[in-house]
Amino acid sequence: MTHPEDSFTLPINYNYYLTGLIYDVVSTSSTDYATFLHDEGYTDGETAKKFKLFTFSQLRFRQMRVEGDRIRSTSPRMDLYISSPVREFVEHLADGLLGKERFPIGREESFRAEEIEVLEPPEFNEEMKFICLSPLVASTVVEEEGELKTYYYRYSDDELSKAVASNLAQKYRLVHGEGIEPGRFRLQFDPDYVKRRNGRISKLVRYKNTKIKGIFAPFSVRGKPELIKVGYQAGFGEKGSMGFGMVAGAENSAD
């Protein structure tokens, strides 16, 4: 994506605007599908949880600096990666990108899709390594002082792998119309990277009025290739449509 000016600013917490941008682009191709995706999403009836089944990366700036609560890009170009296992979504997204000249993000109204590229996926195996293009989020509900609160798993929590595996199995069932047992699924963040960062690999993102804590670090995963593929396509962990859980193969990153 490009901006007509050499320098522009965006809010540091821009995820909400990017979600809106994606719905806006899809609605350019099909208002009905965009409305369905926004209001309903995909569900199998077994749980009340609804999935949008798409994810996107953080914005990747060529040159930038932080100014208070905003990011200033000193290059007119930035990259955004979007992924989904749902063909209908991908087709409407592509049609919308081709049919729309200008794209708003926050107060900035003049972005253009300068180049659209389809990336080649990796070969999916039982053991793989990934880098995060957006933070990975997994959570549960806990009770504290008589109140229910969201607990976001840390990289060292034993329950993290189980939570991610359960999420991937739900996504797989929605995409393929049949269930799958996660089996011995294991996700582990790169210990050398964690050590270099002194364990500081969490990232806090404000999405409208909600603070969401994710983990932003390279990781390895061991499990059924079918589940790993769904994670690659729809995001590992929760809140993919809010801009969390997108990855690239560690040997073939999107840099």
**pLDDT tens per residue across span 37-85:** 999 999 977 667 899 999 999 999 999 999 999 999 999 999 999 999 9
pLDDT (average), residues 17-32? 95
b/e 200-217 (16+ beta carbons within 10 angstroms → b): ebebebebeeeebbbbbb
The pLDDT value recorded for residue 252 is 53
Q: Which domains does the chain have, with CATH numbers?
A: 8-111 (3.30.70.1890), 127-249 (3.30.70.1900)
pLDDT (average), residues 9-27? 95
The pLDDT value recorded for residue 200 is 96
pLDDT (average), residues 136-150? 93
Q: What is the pTM of this model?
A: 0.92
More confident residue, 4 or 78: 78
More confident residue, 1 or 166: 166
Mean pLDDT over the full length of the chain: 92
pLDDT (average), residues 125-148? 95
The pLDDT value recorded for residue 255 is 45
The pLDDT value recorded for residue 49 is 83
Residue 108 pLDDT greater than 80, yes or no: no
The pLDDT value recorded for residue 99 is 84
Q: pLDDT tens-digit profile of 112-134?
A: 888 888 889 999 999 999 999 99
Proportion of the chain above pLDDT 90, given as a percent: 79
The pLDDT value recorded for residue 6 is 86
Residue 176 pLDDT greater than 80, yes or no: yes
